[in-house]
A = this chain, B = another copy of it.
Amino acid sequence: MKIVIDMMGSDNGLAATVPAVLEFRANHPNVELFCVGKIDEMLDLEGHAHLIEAPEIVPQDAGVLEVLRLKNSSMLVAINTLLAEKADAIVSAGSTGGFLSATTLKIKLIPGVERAAIMAPFPTVIPGKKVAVLDIGASNENTADQLIQFAKMGQIYAEKVFGVNEPQVYLLSNGAEENKGTPEIVEANKRLREMEFPGFKGNIEAREALNGEVDVLVSGGFAGNVFLKSSEGIAKMMGSGLKKVFTKSLKTKIGYLFVRKGLKGMMADFDYKATGGAMLLGINSVAVKAHGNSDVKTFVGALEVAYKMAEQDVVAKIKEGFANEAHS
């Protein structure tokens, strides 16, 4: 297996990615790694990975054209390395928009896929259980066709990476009834029912989506982004509220000592950084977008997800799914 890593572009830069690669390497000695960035800051990786020089960083808000123009950027060089080496996966902590544009244009979409989707695993009320939410922001608007494609890609991901037998698939809407939602959602709901899509359970409201019954939550990109960011926002707000409560006085600080362990465990369950990042689904390669503010642990998580997706042949499975559709 070959994995290409864009080592630059995260807030913490090589200080986070270099130790993460070493840790990942220790767990997976047989994976061939290609690390792209400033070589003189990656010397610790000599003997563990191929080091490829690319000193520039794609800015966070870069448009498509700007990304493609930055030929010496670690992101573009990483993508070119993936193509040249026929590597299995690419991981980057750089600009999400840039990574999405550049992978879509250079690695291309899987035949039959109209739009790539950004997918993120969310925590649920059941500790350890995740739900695959897509799209969380690759598109602003999505047709019913595209929503159905997201359902299919999410289903394959949940099966192969979460290891769920028949993933339960829902559409995010403003009511559970089949006539609720935008015209695209109503149409997608109707067609998923008509085609007897395996595991399709209908619409679900955002309030219920993390109740542990859902394996795949399908949404248009705009609403999915709102779902992601409002969940993150409230979790963060409650986290800082709790901190205030526990640091208020000596008494509350003592109280903290009694519940520290459980509290840390709970906050870890709600830590969106813990899953490593978001996956671009629909691209002709495993492509993992690590969090922009990745620390070592988060970046290791992103590498592990890429490894698992490559090992489980998720891209080939998505290709098969869409090839079958073209023939039916």
* Cross-interface CB contact of A259 among B172, B223, B233, B256, cutoff 8 Å: B256
Q: A140-B174, A222-B174, A226-B172 are in contact. Are A233 and B254 (CB under 8 A)?
A: no
A209 within 8 A of B: yes
Secondary structure at the A interface, as helix, strand, loop or mixed, is helix
* Cross-interface CB contact of A263 among B236, B237, B245, cutoff 8 Å: B245
Q: Determine how close the nearest CB of chain B comes to the CB of A304; give it in whole angstroms.
A: 25
Query: Which residues of chain A in 216-234 are interfacial with respect to chain B, using CB atoms and an 8 Å cutoff?
Result: 221-223, 225-234
A111 within 8 A of B: no
Nearest to A230 among chain B residues (CB) is B206
On whether the beta carbons of B233 and A210 are closer than 8 Å, the reply is yes
On whether the beta carbons of A61 and B177 are closer than 8 Å, the reply is yes
On whether the beta carbons of A207 and B236 are closer than 8 Å, the reply is yes
Q: A125-B240, A141-B182, A240-B125 are in contact. Are A225 and B177 (CB under 8 A)?
A: no
Known: A174-B222, A245-B262. 11 other contacts (CB 8 A): A125-B240, A137-B174, A207-B230, A210-B234, A226-B227, A230-B231, A234-B235, A237-B270, A242-B263, A246-B259, A255-B257
A327 within 8 A of B: no
* Cross-interface CB contact of A255 among B183, B248, B259, cutoff 8 Å: B259
> In whole angstroms, what is the CA distance A205 to B270 when docked?
19
Number of copies: 2
Nearest to A245 among chain B residues (CB) is B262
Q: A242-B266, A252-B259 are in contact. Are A225 and B141 (CB under 8 A)?
A: no
Interface size classification for chain A: 35 or more
A88 within 8 A of B: no
> In whole angstroms, what is the CA distance A140 to B231 when docked?
21
Q: Determine how close the nearest CB of chain B comes to the CB of A173; give it in whole angstroms.
A: 8
A238 within 8 A of B: yes
On whether the beta carbons of A229 and B210 are closer than 8 Å, the reply is no
On whether the beta carbons of A241 and B259 are closer than 8 Å, the reply is no
* Cross-interface CB contact of A269 among B182, B209, B241, cutoff 8 Å: B241
Nearest to A242 among chain B residues (CB) is B266
List chain B residues, Cβ under 8 A from A270: 234, 237-238, 241
Query: Which residues of chain A in 156-179 are interfacial with respect to chain B, using CB atoms and an 8 Å cutoff?
Result: 172, 174, 177
Q: A235-B234, A252-B262, A258-B258 are in contact. Are A205 and B223 (CB under 8 A)?
A: no
